[in-house]
Amino acid sequence: MLVKTKYFDEMEIDERKIITFGSGLPGFLEERQFIVLDIPGNNLLQILQSIHTPSLAFFVTNPHYFYDDYEFSLDEHIVESLEIIDEKDVVILSIMTMKEPFHLSTINLQAPLIINSNKKYGKQFILNDEKYSMKATISFPTTEKRGE
């Protein structure tokens, strides 16, 4: 399937990798199908690209790259709606707001994206926990976190 993207022009994607957000994303309720794109040469960030709207793309990251103590519990409704059976199938991503220089960028820890990597279902889960911010500052990850 050919998809126009914000950062990579037009790309051929595998339709089996499309993630369906049944309720859309807050602020983009009609946008329900996305794909996670790797950024060549960057193992910290990826792009969550809308399948239908080329201009709609978010930089995302595994929040544990920057906050290794980040944790929360999923409520039963999320587990059921995403048909999560095995914890290993859960992928957690956080949307980033990119700034120059990079260390001024922020990460949204308050509303992580929860993805069932097996079923390709996703949902943005808004946490009721004041210890996490929508604009958390980032620190440069250690070599261990980057997997080098």
Q: Going along the chain, which residue ranges are E strands?
A: 2-4, 10-12, 19-21, 33-39, 42-50, 57-61, 90-97, 106-107, 113-116, 121-124, 136-137
Q: Which fold has domain 2-141?
A: BH3618-like (2.30.290)
Domains of the chain, by residue range, sit at 2-141
Give the tens place of pLDDT for each residue, 74-105: 999 999 999 999 999 999 999 999 999 988 99
CA distance 65 to 107: 11
pLDDT over 80 (residue 141)? no
What is the percentage of the chain residues whose pLDDT exceeds 90?
Answer: 87
Confidence of residue 26 (pLDDT cuts 50, 70, 90): very high
